[in-house]
Amino acid sequence: MSETVADRAALMEQETRLSESPSAVPGTVRPGGRTAKVRRAVLDATEDALATAAFHTLNMDQIAASAGVGKTTVYRRWGSPTGLVADLLHDMAEQSLPAADTGSLPGDLRANAALVHRTLTDPRMGAVFRAVIAAAACDEECARALNGFYRTRLAEWAPVVTRAAARGEVPAGTDALELLRAVSAPLYYRFAITREELTEADAERAVTAALAAASAGAFTGRPGAE
């Protein structure tokens, strides 16, 4: 897949486009076509609810009504509001597009940081991410699902670092996931922890800092060595 501006735009939406895939559950289209449609409708309604109100106000009956699905189905299949949030996170993990491949590590990491920045500063998706992070703080099933979501995303982007290592852009043995975490962490820290403004300059600084740390060997698995 060649990299075009349209691909970049699509990439940018990787974490925001949660509700447009008609068959989000592989293998369930037939005979699970109806099951998949019900799931899509219920998860869309869940996301809509999280985009506009705090997770602890999620109401199963309202979501069933918004989705046009019977309450019994929603209760039987998802059990609780946290069950809905956990499944939304599973669905988000499944909605995947390829990671950037600009030909250079700085370019790829900038694309990654821009994706995170745009997702978190998007009014709708920022609210959804705040909600799922809060839900994970309150419920272990949601915590596992959030962990799974980020493990999936990190694994998808790891080849960016593997290719960079092959090109000699980072020291041999650089831990791909640690480098990727270093790009995202400062952005999420402002967004969810210190509740500070999150700007494009923060995204750029995160990339610059992560690249400098990687070049210095901070992510080669010997962090304590001096």
Contact positions toward a copy of itself, by CB under 8 A?
54-56, 130-131, 133-134, 136-139, 143-144, 146-147, 150-151, 154, 178, 181-182, 184-186, 188-190, 192-196, 201, 204-205, 208-210, 212-213, 215-219, 223-224
DSSP 89: H
Distance in Å, CB of 200 to a copy of itself, minimum: 9
Handedness of CA 204, 208, 210, 211 (dihedral sign): positive
99 and 176 in contact (C-beta within 8 Å)? no
- Which one, 32 or 106, has the nearer CB to a copy of itself? 106
Smaller CB separation from a copy of itself, 122 or 204: 204
Q: Are 176 and 161 within 8 A, CB to CB?
A: yes
CB of residue 103 vs a copy of itself: minimum separation in angstroms?
16
Smallest gap, in angstroms, from Cβ of residue 146 to a copy of itself?
5
Least distance in angstroms from the C-beta of 206 to a copy of itself: 8
Task: State the nearest-atom distance from the C-beta of 195 to a copy of itself, in Å.
Answer: 4
Backbone φ and ψ for 139, nearest 5 degrees, come out as -150, 130
Q: Which is nearer to a copy of itself, 41 or 203 (CB)?
A: 203
Cα dist. 25→21, 35, 46, 155, 199 in Å?
A: 9, 9, 17, 20, 35
What's the CA gap between 166 and 164, in Å, rounded?
Answer: 5
Using the minimum distance from each CB to a copy of itself, give the nearer residue, 10 or 127. Answer: 127
Q: Is 24 helix (H, G, I), strand (E, B) or coil?
A: coil
Is the CB of 23 or the CB of 215 nearer to a copy of itself? Answer: 215
Least distance in angstroms from the C-beta of 22 to a copy of itself: 29
- Phi, psi for 173 (deg, rounded to 5): 85, 5
Contact 88, 136 (CB under 8 A): no
Q: Tell me whether residue 83 or residue 186 sits nearer to a copy of itself (CB atom).
A: 186
